[in-house]
Structure 1
Amino acid sequence: MLHYRTQGFQGCAVKYSPFFDNRLAVASSANFGLVGNGRLHILELTANGIQPLKSFTTQDSLYDTAWSELHENQVLAASGDGSIKLFDCTANDFPISSWKEHGREVFSVNWNPVAKDRFCSSSWDGTVRVWSPHRPQSLLTLPTHSCTYSASFCPHNPDLISCVTSDSYVRVFDLRTPASASNHLVTQIPIHASASGPGMLGQPGVLATAGVDRAIRTFDIRAPQQGPLATMLGHEYAVRKVAWSPHLSNVLLSASYDMTCRVWSDRSEAGPGGDMDVMRAGPGSTVLGAELGRMGRHTEFVTGIDWCLFGSEGWCASVGWDENLYVWDVRASMT
């Protein structure tokens, strides 16, 4: 397990580079994101541990980050002042581009991994916006009418965006549909919780959500009326982030305010924690997912997680309010 201290700044999000297996970006904030500066850390994994490559200090808190899918040295940062900034690791300390249309904090940014010429953002102002890095204004605004915690493009379809909001719904927008009165909204699924964490598409058509009720649920957006496919229980406090493994379609990672990261199987595949027969229990049935392991090194809220896209299927990174970044192998934590 590798460790790095983001001294004076509490981590909010961590992302592996899609170009380099040894490069990470960490979005962080002073004073737990309530007031003060933010800092974007660009870090490299070396033979001598985790070493800083570059850092950018901002006037407001940073809540999320996303690597460009077009340029290996460029990375986005989502800011508390409603702006999105694009930094270049090889340039000076100022952003090379900046966008500001959101009326409140930008809480997530996500770069489209298929149509690489666009990215999206979500904000507490009740909107999701789609952007091009080459245009000064947003391409599209998708209203959610509720504080929007997270939005992400589907890794299998460049025109699908999922998001989760404070009204406990996961919404799916299809940009191929006519805007009309629905503003591209094609699916709206109640999660039955008072607030929700990130929604992310993993297997084609299946997404995972989590929230303050401590439960992780998976849904099939092709059959939203059937309710959750699987429910994963075990966290003691609200779940802040979930992330599907890029290597194993039934495995996901979670980060929680209970100061742990946990590895789960939704039991949809044979493999680690999988059981194909369980998923055939019948229409409308909900499977109880399996906890495969946990990591408890953090001493404060765990707020960010990400999987490494390269190499063997176990490496990931986590950050938290304890100012610590850990890079670790989930297989070492499996029971």
Structure 2
Amino acid sequence: MNAPSPTLQTPGFAHFSVAWSPFHNNRLAVASSANYGLVGNGRLHLVSLTSGRGSLPSLKLDKQYPTQDGLYDAAWSEIHENQLVTASGDGSIRLWDVTLNDLPIRIWHEHSREAFSVDWSNLKKDVFCSSSWDGTVKLWTPDRAHSITTLHAAQGCVYQALFSPHHPDLVASCSADGALKIFDLRAPSLLAAPTSLTNPLSTPALLVPPRGPAEMLTLDWNKYRPLVLAGAGTDKAIRVWDCRMLKVAGGPGSGPGPENTLVGGVCEADMLGHEYAVRKVQWSPHHADVLATASYDMTCRIWSTNSPPGRPPLLHIQDAHTEFVVGCSWSLYDEGLLASCGWDSRVILMRM
């Protein structure tokens, strides 16, 4: 009989996101919301790993910060070991210092609807981005009072935006229209007027057209293979795209897309198994062919994109949650260690 997985529960707050610190191998941040994020307060939890029995550590709640609206995502700073940003249901982006005990050290109010994701560039370490239900992706630096760039990424919700781990000027987004888009921050319109107020960029450098009416809820860049991304959403499928195979919009068979935009991407893998929508995909930082997914079917799953012929790509199912699983994150230091979080107010550790 397997030992129970290490678990931390914070009653009254549904977890939306879990993130490992890039500086400390035993520190986690968890973004949470009351009433499943529909209405009410939020809370940022700081969690540490302590020595446990067997191969897995235990979890301990160190500190928590209340917010007036729900929190949907968190990302640690890449330049300051004690700072992180959060995305909130009131559209605000907040910068926190975990050595302080109460208020954020900066708040930005530019998004007109819910801010749903944040991501800190690990190449341009003084820049982070946010995405919102207002259809935009915004780029920020901690020391400026306003965003430095706005990308008009979609007509509807932009569920996630991430910097490329290989190229400092590429940002990928996924949205309610089902498309995966890659923006090049070196675009002439941005270089001419790189501000959020005068000349926002609305044309992506690359567009992977949607497959049917499904919304794409999550994406991630492969850490070892440039321009390879995984995406998933409401159609329950996890797809891996090689975006090096492209065509110019308007060419034969290129499909819909703005002029001067590259359209295409080869679907390398189309993995099925989740019973409901997939809310999170994340590639392993240690293996080029391994990724984790979290789903409304109350499971967190681990897949291989390089399974031997005849073997299914699914490696493991973690079904310890009792509500929607909406976040998962690989440890950057401990190979095979994965944290998941869900609407059952629990953070659970597992090892591949």
Match of 2:259 in 1: none
**How far apart are 1:183 and its partner, in Å?**
3.9
Letter in 2 for 1:198: T
Task: Count residues with an aligned counterpart.
Answer: 313
- Deviation, 1:198, is 1.1
Q: Which moved more, 1:117-126 or 1:68-77?
A: 68-77
* SS of equivalent to 1:32: helix
**Counterpart in the other structure of 1:303:** 326
Say if 2:247 is the partner of 1:237. no
Question: Aligned pair in 2 of structure 1 residues 294, 26: CA closer, same or farther (>3 Å)?
Answer: same
Instruction: Indicate the residue corresponding to 1:89 in structure 2.
Output: 98
Cα-Cα RMSD: 1.6
Q: Residue 176 of structure 1 is aligned with which of 173, 186, 189? A: 186
Report whether the alignment pairs 1:246 with 2:285.
yes
- Give TM-score scaled by structure 2 length: 0.86
Q: CA deviation at 1:47?
A: 2.4
TM-score w.r.t. the length of structure 1 is 0.90
Q: What displacement does 1:184 show?
A: 5.7
Change over 3 Å in CA distance of 1:17–1:274 after alignment to 2: farther
Q: Is the 8 A contact 1:177 1:184 kept in 2?
A: no
Quote the Cα distance in structure 1 between the aligned partners of 2:185 and 2:316.
Answer: 38
* Aligned pair partner of 1:136 in 145, 151, 155: 145
Distance change >3 Å, CA 126–CA 50, structure 1 → 2: same
> CA offsets per residue over residues 45-98 of structure 1, 9 Å max, x none?
112631122110000000000001111111111000000001111113100011
Matched, 1:258 2:297: yes
CA gap 1:82/1:293 in 2 versus in 1, 3 angstroms: same
Preserved contact between residue 173 and residue 187 of structure 1 (Cα < 8 Å): yes
Kindly tell me: are residues 274 and 75 of structure 1, through their superposed partners in 2, closer, same or farther at Cα, counting changes over 3 Å? Answer: farther
Partner of 2:10: 6
- SS of 2:188's equivalent? coil
Once residues 292 and 231 of structure 1 are traced to their aligned partners in structure 2, the CA distance between those partners, rounded to angstroms, is 15
> 1: distance between equivalents of 2:143 and 2:338?
31
Question: How far apart in 1 are the matches of 2:305 and 2:217?
Answer: 17
Q: How many angstroms apart in 2 are the aligned matches of 1:323 and 1:218?
A: 30
Determine the structure 2 residue equivalent to 1:40: 44
1:205 aligns with 2:209: no
SS at match of 1:297: coil
Matched, 1:318 2:340: yes
Q: What percent of counterpart residues are identical? A: 50
Q: What is the rounded CA distance, in whole Å, between the counterparts of 1:71 and 1:38 in structure 2?
A: 24
Q: For structure 1, which segment, 62-71 or 193-202, has the greater mean C-alpha deviation from structure 2 after superposition?
A: 193-202
- The runs of at least 4 consecutive aligned structure 1 residues that moved more than 3 Å come to 180-184
Report if the CA contact (8 A) 2:20-2:331 is conserved.
yes
**Shift of residue 146, structure 1, vs aligned partner:** 2.3
For 1:319 and 1:226, the matched residues in 2 are separated by 31
Query: In structure 1, how many angstroms separate the alpha carbons of the residues matched to 2:308 and 2:186?
Result: 35
User: Which of 241, 263, 270 is residue 219 of structure 1 equivalent to?
Assistant: 241
Is there any run of 5+ residues in structure 2 with no aligned partner, and where? 53-57, 191-199, 247-263
Question: Quick one: which amino acid aligns to residue 5 of structure 1?
Answer: Q
Is the 2:42–2:66 contact (alpha carbons within 8 Å) kept by the matching residues of 1? yes
Distance 1:327 1:179 in 2: 45
